[in-house]
Structure formats: C-alpha cells, structure tokens
Amino acid sequence: MTPASARLARQHSRCRLTAWHWAGDLDDAVLVVSELVANAARHGKATGRHLWLRLALTDEDELIVDVSDPGRTFPGFEGGAVAPGEGGRGLLVVRQLTDEFGWFLRAGHGKTVRAKLPRPTST
C-alpha cells in the first residue's frame, strides 16, 4: 500500500475491463477504482498488510469494484458534504458515478468498500 497503488490499480483495471470488452464507461470505472484504492492506501495502511482489489461483472453487466484493506473503519463515509479545504472529495465523485456504494467488515481481515457501476446504456 504505497502512493503507486492507485496508478497500478488504474492500469490493471483499464486492461482487465478492455480484455472483458466491458461496454460501460471505462473512464468512470477507472476513476472509481483509483479513488477507492488511493483512499485505502492512505487510510487503511498497516505494516505487513496488503490492499486487495477485486473487479467483477454481474449477469446484468454491472461492474462491481471491491477494495479491501486492514482498517476497520471508513472515515468520511457517512457524511455527504466535505468541508472546504479538506480531503474526501473523491468519495463524493464515487457516489455520483455509482449506483450503489457502501462498505462492510470482513471477519478478522478489516473492511471492504464496494461500489457498483451501472450497466452500459444501449446506444
């Protein structure tokens, strides 16, 4: 969990979603991944522990992004507003780009933050 984690997660996600031929908004998906991974690397860091990224597609072609870290809390999740000059704007962006956004504890392993991006719209 380093500052490079978000960059690596963006690269991995873009490659994976392209390989899957996901027809959703690739830039939105990569942005959501980047924000969640950066947040985990910054706030969930623990010596000897790792960050975990999981991408999955539902049967309806929605994208599920799971980011897990050893932290057991999610600071800033409850509030919908961010005070001027403070961090946390990334979570506001994630909320706007996703259909569902939440988090849950993982027994003995910290927490997972989950975001679900909408299925691609037909053109």
Pick from 38, 43, 50, 44: which is nearest to 3 by CA? 38
Q: Give me the pLDDT at residue 84, please.
A: 45
pLDDT per 10-residue tile (average), the chain, 123 residues: 84 97 95 93 74 94 95 70 55 92 88 91 64
Amino acid at position 123, single letter: T
Distances (CA, A) of 38 to 35, 110, 119: 5, 16, 24
* Beta-carbon count within 10 A of 122 CB: 5
Residue 100 CA to residue 37 CA, distance in Å, equals 17
